[in-house]
Amino acid sequence: MSFQPKALLLAAGLAFAGAAVPTAAHAQIGVNIQLGHPAWGPTAPVGSQYYYIPEIDGYYDLQARNYIVQRNGRWNTMANVPGYDTRNFHPVVVNYRGRQPWDQYNDHHARYFRQGPGRGPGGHNRGHNGNGHGPDNNGHGRR
């Protein structure tokens, strides 16, 4: 049997390359966690601050984690909105950053809200039990 230095170098090179393959084959997994993003809402682009929620005709602040709804002609913050089930919400990410999303309320209301019993995004403008919450029984109270 004859000894060939080129064959030895080739074998060493292949062994080195084979050892390096597992290192190069590692997969990378990215995780995107958005703090303040509720489980019931859509993923919002980084920097988004509010959802408009047609079912309550109000907003959800992603940073403060509270709702902003009209009561007696004033915008109020609330930890939750009694009588509504978040599973029935169809929130829309709105392009507004600041402290008063209601400055764009007329546009959001006209674009996303459909008044009438059972009419709205997905037909869910009524409370979680199907009974309205306002004097006109459409789920919206006075404005």
Q: What pLDDT is attached to residue 15? A: 54
SS3 18: helix
Tell me, yes or no, whether 64 lies in a domain: yes
Domain assignment present for residue 59? The answer is: yes
Give the separation between CA 94 and CA 68, rounded to whole angstroms.
Answer: 14
Question: Would residue 8 count as lying in a domain?
Answer: no
Range of the domain at 116: 37-143
pTM exceeds 0.95 for this model: no
Q: Is residue 6 assigned to a domain?
A: no
Q: Report the number of distinct structural domains present in the chain.
A: 1
Tell me if 13 sits within 8 A of 64, measured CB to CB. Answer: no
Please tell me the predicted confidence (pLDDT) of residue 13.
54
Q: Is residue 132, in this structure, part of any structural domain at all?
A: yes
In this structure, is residue 73 part of a structural domain?
yes
- What pLDDT sits at residue 86? 94
pLDDT for position 114: 76
Grouped pLDDT means (10 residues each) for the chain, 143 residues: 52 52 55 65 93 96 96 96 94 95 95 64 38 38 38
Domain assignment present for 4: no
Predicted pLDDT of residue 65: 95
